[in-house]
């Protein structure tokens, strides 16, 4: 089981902030493909991953990062702090 979190407009498009899912995805990209195949709102939200960032266990990473042992994956648009 893995916790998947969504922030900002991605959270709004998908319609929830967090969900716990059962997945056998080996990489972040595999997980994205799995999510996008679920429902239209996921497909739309993940239609352009160049507009998204990902963190695995609260560390920024790339979409080809492995998910082995990961407990939490978060997807979000580029950050706007400061």
The smaller minimum CB distance to other proteins, of residues 24 and 80, is found at 80
Residue 29-58 contact track with other proteins, rule CB under 8 A, x = bound: --------------------------x--x
Q: What is the SS3 assignment for 6-26?
A: ECHHHHHHHCCCEEEECCCCC
* Residue 76 contacts other proteins per CB under 8 A: yes
**Quick count: other Cβ atoms within 10 Å of Cβ 75?**
24
Q: Which helix (H) or strand (E) holds 58?
A: none
Judge whether 13 and 3 are in contact, CB under 8 Å: no
* Residue 69 contacts other proteins per CB under 8 A: no
Binding site for other proteins (CB under 8 A): 5, 7-9, 11, 55, 58-60, 74, 76-82
């Amino acid at each position: 089981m893995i916790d998947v979190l969504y922030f900002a407009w991605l959270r709004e498009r998908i319609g929830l902030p967090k969900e716990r899912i059962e997945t056998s995805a080996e990489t972040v990209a595999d997980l994205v493909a799995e999510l996008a195949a679920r429902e239209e709102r996921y497909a739309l939200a993940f239609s352009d991953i160049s507009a998204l960032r990902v963190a695995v266990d609260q560390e920024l990473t790339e979409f080809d990062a492995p998910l082995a042992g990961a407990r939490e994956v978060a997807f979000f648009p580029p950050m706007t702090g400061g």
